[in-house]
Amino acid sequence: MTTKVLMDVEEYLRTSFEARLALEVIPEIRIPIHPRRYRVADIAVWRVGDIGERIPTVPPFLAIEILSSEDRMVRMQPKIQEYLSIGVEWIWLIDPDEQKAICYSQKAPAGFLCETLKTENPTIEIALGSVFRFQTGC
């Protein structure tokens, strides 16, 4: 189920926003936290031209994490805080089993349950229900 949600969110971002908003959507990419420490984001989104060369040199403006059945919310918190500490502007933590999401941002670092996955500059809005409709084929 996690893989299905990952592919659907990535595909939706690519087809609906990538060209129109000049974004680069990259799945499962290593993001440098410190010179010798990396985190792998399920999906990361950069504004075109911001990513750098082979390894990203700037943080994405959006990181998306999709919980697997083995993941625990409490174990994700250090990863979320590291993303925020390096300047990731928006983080969506999606739980397919519970069909919920927590949205984090530089303005809301504690996160909040969200019904709409959003960013600003550029504006992206995806109704959470549509993410799970993709998954069930409805």
Q: How far apart are CA 129 and CA 113, in angstroms?
A: 13
Q: How many percent of the chain have pLDDT more than 90?
A: 59
| pLDDT tens, position by position, 22-57 | 999 999 999 999 888 999 999 999 998 767 677 788
pTM (global) more than 0.75: yes
Rounded (10°) CA dihedral 29, 9, 115, 117: 50
**CATH number for the domain harbouring residue 68:** 3.90.1570.10
The parent domain of residue 125 ranges over: 2-136
Task: Evaluate whether 8 touches 134 at the Cβ level (below 8 Å).
Answer: yes
Among residues 53, 60, 136, 67, which one has the least CA distance to residue 97? 67
| pLDDT tens, position by position, 34-43 | 888 999 999 9
Number of domains in the chain: 1
